[in-house]
Amino acid sequence: MFTYGNITSRYHQRSTAFSPSLQDYDEWLEGLPEDTGMDMCRLGFEKCKSAPSFTRYVMEKNDVGMEEYIRQHMDPEEYAAYKAMRKAL
């Protein structure tokens, strides 16, 4: 889980490489449940830039899926153990 956490952290940090825009933010807000969208709208674009659901949206929009990113950056044996643990839950 430690390795998984480190890789997902890097995944979310990498979203800044795509220079998230106000348009990305507006599109993301549209896809959120109404209450959540209102809360995120109140926070504003700058504060939401680091929100995991927004950074994942930006990455996915740029064809970088989180699961594939994790698989590519994790040792194959660790990834298999992670998948087995997740399946057991």
pTM of the entire structure?
0.88
> Measured between alpha carbons, how far is 15 from 56 in angstroms, rounded to an integer?
7
The two most distant CA atoms of the chain are separated, in Å, by 43
Please compute the mean of the pLDDT values over residues 8-27 and round it to a whole number. Answer: 96
pLDDT digits (tens, 9 = 90+) for 19-77: 999 999 999 999 999 999 999 999 999 999 999 999 999 999 999 999 999 999 999 99
For residue 32, which phi and psi values (nearest 5 degrees)? -85, 155
Q: What is the pLDDT of residue 1?
A: 86
pLDDT digits (tens, 9 = 90+) for 57-68: 999 999 999 999
Q: What is the pLDDT of residue 89?
A: 85
Q: What is the pLDDT of residue 51?
A: 96
